[in-house]
Structure 1
């Protein structure tokens, strides 16, 4: 497959499921495990799972692309989720999203060049009273403006610098 990823732990996980009835029905569990181990599900990982589970790669691709929680490319160190739910939307979530895109130089579904940030839209994060909001590392930041969201991003840049020093 690839010399970049060691699949021993994923193979061991698959082997624990191999004798269970309806082995193929554990595909989603296997993909979750792969994402937990590697951060995302690469084409090479899908090929490995295909061989181990005797499921065509096309079927695995179909499952991995159907469910939004599977990442098909590496993500940034911090995932920025901009809430686009109704309360956030009417309070300028689109402006917040535009400010994040400008500041990071990326679009939705992309990773910043420094590898620090991934950007995604969220339907609702359940913090309507704080609208508009973003979520980073399960932390919610609310009552945002295009200016204040840049300040939040800068806090994470500083945090990353301190952790790498």
Structure 2
């Protein structure tokens, strides 16, 4: 499929240190995975295997946890996170059309990162700005009353920053 995830010796040592630190506590898997996410910006299979070898937790169980919780990711995220809200008010007001446009414009599917590593596209759920539906977020900035035209402009503006 893709190329193998590269783990530097420094990253490996830091992960092993964190595993050793958390392994002595009850329920060590979640704290270890949070540290792995911090160290590598993602938790691919190569990292999951190290965690499994050091903790005795099967890779299948670790992968189940990593893929269940949205705070973990299998692939590195881009420099900027583009999110299109698919909560009910946004969806009813055309968010799917906007998401479909953004997918085409960036050339990635939801959860994907552009080849240059600049954008990661996410489908997000309600962020509490339903009165401005549909909404789109660029990192921490939220934009309401979104349209395909506005989305195109914002993508170009952020690319220029």
By the TM > 0.5 criterion, same fold? yes
How many residues in Structure 1 have an aligned counterpart in Structure 2? Answer: 155
Q: Residue 109 of structure 1: SS of its match in structure 2? A: coil
- Report what 1:162 is aligned to: none
Counterparts of 1:65 and 1:154 in 2: how far apart (Å)?
A: 31
Counterparts of 2:69 and 2:6 in 1: how far apart (Å)?
A: 27
CA shift, 1:3, in A, is 5.7
CA shift, 1:18, in A, is 2.7
Counterparts of 2:17 and 2:86 in 1: how far apart (Å)?
A: 40
Counterparts of 1:150 and 1:26 in 2: how far apart (Å)?
A: 44
Alignment gaps of 5+ in structure 1: 160-165
Counterparts of 1:129 and 1:40 in 2: how far apart (Å)?
A: 34
- Report what 2:100 is aligned to: 98
Deviation digits for residues 102-157 of structure 1 (CA, Å, limit 9, x no counterpart): 21111112111222111111121111111111112121111111011111111221
Which of 143, 149, 161 lines up with 1:147 in the alignment?
149
Counterparts of 2:45 and 2:106 in 1: how far apart (Å)?
A: 27
Following superposition, which runs of at least 4 residues in structure 1 exceed 4 angstroms of deviation?
A: none
- Report what 1:163 is aligned to: none
Which of 88, 91, 94 lines up with 1:86 in the alignment?
88
- Report what 1:4 is aligned to: 7
Counterparts of 1:19 and 1:74 in 2: how far apart (Å)?
A: 29
- Report what 2:59 is aligned to: 57
Residue 18 (structure 1) aligned with residue 20 (structure 2): no
Alignment gaps of 5+ in structure 2: none
Query: How big is the alpha-carbon RMSD for the aligned residues of Structure 1 and Structure 2?
Result: 1.5
Counterparts of 1:89 and 1:3 in 2: how far apart (Å)?
A: 39
Counterparts of 1:43 and 1:83 in 2: how far apart (Å)?
A: 29
